[in-house]
């Protein structure tokens, strides 16, 4: 038994590469977070979507709060130990009846981590049932290690580089990871997964947090940033990310721009090796 995950859930994660769903906060709290996200979008005339969906925990106090939610960090600790950095975060919105989708991929691709240990926690701000395009996974595929990916720049693909597994793999048995607003799913960095388009009348929004143990390093020549969210770091593999003191303040925007620039440079460097 871990702090949040049961022995059965931890075993399921080891065998299948994912756990879903886990209760985190109330529907009302999820709606409150979604209001803040959409209030910002409305006020600034932007979408926190493709091209502007990276690392919003550096810009908004409410996102930083979710990133450090004790229930989330307890679940991550159950799987990778007590010293944890938030390596990356993407917002994943899919508008009502939007054709946007995500092809089969592994999160590890282009992260360049060594050792490649990373957990994705996908937190639902709105309900994400199968018909809204929740994630579909290939159970056990995390044991395949890194598979080769190609880039597909179809503009309805939400991933920044349209990374898509381009070697054969068995997807005769898949499972979905539906989550309700306020719940999260957990998956391993090598788990092969995808998600379909949103066939509901509402916008489906989730936050995908990528956590790593502090001993993992990014092998890119660009030194990337990551927030120490729990425990201590005796390795110095990352530059620290400061917590936002003001929503979308000038200091916050400047740091966010720099952190995203470095993350993209690192991703480009890793992609060039493929
Ligand atoms: O939000 C989605 O539909 C998929 C997100 C995803 O692939 C991930 O968080 O790893």
DSSP string over 200-233: SSS-EEEEEEEEEETT-EE-SSSPPEEEEEES--
The yes-or-no verdict on residue 154 having pLDDT over 90 is: no
Q: What is the pLDDT of residue 245?
A: 98
Q: Is the dihedral of CA 113, 53, 159, 67 positive or negative?
A: positive
The verdict on residue 68 lying in a domain is yes
Determine, yes or no, domain membership for 24.
yes
Looking up residue 60, the CATH number of its domain turns out to be: 2.60.120.620
| Residue 104 placed within a domain | yes
Largest CA distance in the chain: 50
Question: Residue 109's closest CA among 57, 151, 54?
Answer: 151
Domain count, the chain: 1
Does 54 sit in the ligand 1 pocket, CB within 6 Å? no
Q: Is the pLDDT of residue 260 over 80?
A: yes
Q: What is the mean pLDDT of residues 251-263?
A: 98
Q: Summarize the confidence of residues 210-221 as an average pLDDT.
A: 98
Ligand 1 in contact with 207 (CB < 6 A)? no
Residue 163 is predicted with a pLDDT of 87
**24 pLDDT more than 90:** yes
Helix (H) or strand (E) holding 152: none
Could you tell me the distance, in angstroms and rounded to a whole number, from the CA of residue 193 to the centre of ligand 1?
8
Residue 5 falls inside a structural domain: no
Do the beta carbons of residue 124 and residue 206 sit within 8 Å? yes
Give the nearest ligand 1 atom to 206 CA: 1
Q: Is the CB of 214 under 6 A from ligand 1?
A: no
Please identify, by atom number, the ligand 1 atom nearest to the C-alpha of residue 122: 9
Question: What is the band of 93 on the pLDDT scale with cuts at 50, 70, 90?
Answer: very high
Per-residue CA distances from 252 to 37, 59, 259 (Å): 16, 5, 10
Could you tell me if residue 4 is inside a domain? Answer: no
What secondary structure does DSSP assign to 236-259, as a single string?
--SEEPPPPSSTT-HHHHHHHHHH
d(CA 71, CA 56): 20
Q: Is 197 inside a domain boundary?
A: yes
Summarize pLDDT for 226-238 with one digit per residue, the tens.
999 999 999 999 9
For residue 179, being part of any structural domain is answered with: yes
Amino acid 155: pLDDT: 76
Q: For ligand 1, atom 1, name the residue with the nearest CA.
A: 92
pLDDT in tens, 108-152: 999 999 999 999 999 999 999 999 999 999 999 999 999 999 988
Cβ 198 under 6 angstroms from ligand 1 = no
Q: Which residues span the domain enclosing 166?
A: 10-272
Other C-beta atoms closer than 10 Å to the C-beta of 250 total 8
The answer on pLDDT for 68 being more than 80 is yes
Does some domain include residue 3?
no
Does ligand 1 have an atom closer than 6 angstroms to the CB of 122?
yes
Q: Is the CB of 208 under 6 A from ligand 1?
A: yes
pLDDT of residue 168: 93
């Amino acid at each position: 038994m871990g702090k949040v995950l049961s022995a059965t859930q931890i075993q399921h994660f080891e065998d299948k590469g994912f756990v879903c769903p886990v209760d985190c906060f109330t529907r009302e709290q999820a709606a409150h977070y979604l209001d803040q996200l959409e209030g910002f979008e409305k006020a600034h005339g932007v979408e926190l979507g493709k091209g502007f969906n990276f690392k919003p925990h550096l810009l908004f106090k409410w996102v930083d709060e979710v990133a450090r939610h004790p229930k989330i960090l307890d679940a991550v600790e159950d799987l990778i130990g007590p010293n944890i950095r938030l390596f990356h975060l993407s917002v994943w919105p899919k508008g009502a009846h939007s054709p946007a989708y995500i092809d089969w991929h592994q999160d590890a691709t282009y992260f360049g981590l060594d050792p490649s240990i990373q957990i994705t926690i996908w937190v639902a701000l709105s309900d994400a049932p199968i018909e809204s395009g929740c994630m579909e996974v290939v159970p056990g595929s995390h044991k395949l290690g890194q598979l080769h990916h190609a880039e597909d720049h179809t503009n309805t693909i939400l991933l920044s580089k349209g990374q898509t597994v381009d070697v054969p793999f068995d997807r005769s048995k898949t499972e979905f990871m539906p989550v309700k607003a306020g719940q999260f799913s957990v998956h391993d960095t090598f788990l092969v997964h995808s998600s379909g388009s949103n066939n509901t009348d509402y916008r489906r929004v989730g936050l995908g947090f990528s956590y790593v143990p502090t001993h993992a390093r990014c092998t890119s020549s660009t030194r990337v940033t990551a927030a120490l969210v729990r425990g201590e770091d005796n390795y110095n593999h990352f530059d620290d990310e400061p917590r936002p003191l003001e929503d979308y303040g000038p200091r916050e925007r400047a740091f966010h721009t720099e952190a995203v620039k470095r993350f993209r440079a690192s991703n480009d460097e890793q992609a060039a090796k493929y």
